[in-house]
Amino acid sequence: MGTVSVAMSPAYKPRALNRKRVPGMSKQDDVSTEPAARRREKRQPHSHHTRNPLLSAVLAQLLGALAAGGLALAFFPPSFVQPLAIAALQGSCALVAAWRLRARAWWLPIHLVFMPLVVLARGMDLPSWLWASGFLLLLLIFWRTDTSQVPLYLTNRKSRYAVLSVLPATPCRVIDLGCGDGALLRHLARSRPDCTFVGFEHAPLTWAWARLSTHGLANVDIRRGDFWTHPLAGYDLVYAFLSPAPMARLWAKARAEMSPGARLVSNSFVVPEQAPLAVVDVDDKRRTRLNIYIGASLPG
Ligand SMILES: C[S@@+](CC[C@H](N)C(=O)[O-])C[C@H]1O[C@@H](n2cnc3c(N)ncnc32)[C@H](O)[C@@H]1O
C-alpha cells in the first residue's frame, strides 16, 4: 500500500454558520482556511456564460467566418486568398468574437487554431472513417460534457487514500457522483469491505469500464444514468469530483436530500459562498484539496 501524506490546514475560526464539527473527526481535523476557500471561490466564478458553451463556441466560429470573409473581400487581393491564410484570419476573428461573448479564457486558443487545424488535417488525406471513429470514441467517453460541464479526470492515487481517511469508521454507504472509470470505488471497496459503494456514470464507455472492472466486488454497485435524478438520502458520504459549474446546484441538492450528519466531500471544487467545514490537503503534485461539508444539517 502506498503512503499518503494528508496534511490538515491550520485551524481557523469558522464562521458561526459552519461551527458544526464533522462527526468522527478530531478537533484538529475541524479545520479550514476560510480566506483560502474564499480565494478559490473567486478563482472559480460561476458564470452564466457557461450555460451553453458549445452554442457559444459555434456562434464564435460562425461570426469569425463571416468577419474573415468580409475582411478578405474588402481588403485582400485574390492572391492572398489561400485556404490556410483565410483559416488563420477566421481563427483570429473567432478568437475576438469568443472574447466578446465572454467565453472562458481557455476557449480562446482553441478558437484561434480550430479552423487552421481543420485545413491542415484535410491536407493529410486521412480516410473519413478515422474522423468518425475519433468522434465516436470521444463521445462515448466524454458524453454530454457540453451540458454537464464536467469532463473526465480522475481522483489520483494519493487522493484515493485521502478519501479513504475521511470515510466514517463504522460501516457506511458511499456514493461517487460521476464515478468515471470506477478506480476510486475499486480502491475504497477493497479497503473497506464493511461499506457499500454506489457509482453513477452517464458516459457509456466509462460506465462500461467501471462496471467491468468492479465485477466481482460485491460491495460496489455501478449504475448508468444521471446522478442529478438520484436521491442522496441514505448515504453517509457523498463524493463529488466535478467542476466549478455545478457546485451551487450540488449544494442545493445535498442540502435538500442528504441525511443529517452525512458528509459531502468535494475534490478540488468549493461550494460558492460556503466555507468548507474541513479541508484535507493532499500531498500530491497538483495540491489536491478535499473540501468537506455536512449535508442537510447546516442552514443555507
Ligand atoms: C471529473 S470525473 C470524476 C471521476 C471519478 N469520480 C473520480 O473521482 O475519479 C467526473 C465524471 O462525472 C461524469 N458525469 C458528469 N455529469 C454526470 C451526470 N449528470 N451523471 C452521471 N455522470 C456524470 C463524467 O462523465 C465524468 O466521468
Structural domains present in the chain: 6-31+151-294 (3.40.50.150), 48-148 (no CATH)
Atom 12 of ligand 1, nearest CA residue: 178
pTM as predicted: 0.76
Query: Does the C-beta of 180 come closer than 6 Å to ligand 1?
Result: yes
**For residues 79-99, b (16+ Cβ closer than 10 Å) or e, as one string?**
eeeeeebbbbbbbbbbbbbbe
Place of cell 468577419: 67
Atom 26 of ligand 1, nearest CA residue: 152
d(CA 205, CA 286): 27
Average pLDDT over residues 102-118: 93
Ligand 1 centroid to residue 151 C-alpha, Å:
7
Ligand 1 centroid to residue 79 C-alpha, Å:
50
Tell me the pLDDT band of 120, cut-offs 50, 70 and 90: very high
Query: Does the C-beta of 168 come closer than 6 Å to ligand 1?
Result: no
130 Cβ contact partners less than 8 Å away, ≥ 6 residues apart: none
Tens of pLDDT along 156-214?
999 999 999 999 999 999 999 999 999 999 999 999 999 999 999 999 999 999 999 99
**Strand runs labelled E in the chain:** 6-8, 173-177, 196-201, 220-224, 237-240, 263-267, 278-282, 289-294
Tens of pLDDT along 39-84?
444 444 444 445 677 889 999 999 999 999 999 888 887 766 788 9
Ligand 1 centroid to residue 178 C-alpha, Å:
3
Ligand 1 pocket test: which of 160, 176, 177 has the largest number of ligand atoms within 8 Å of its C-beta? 177
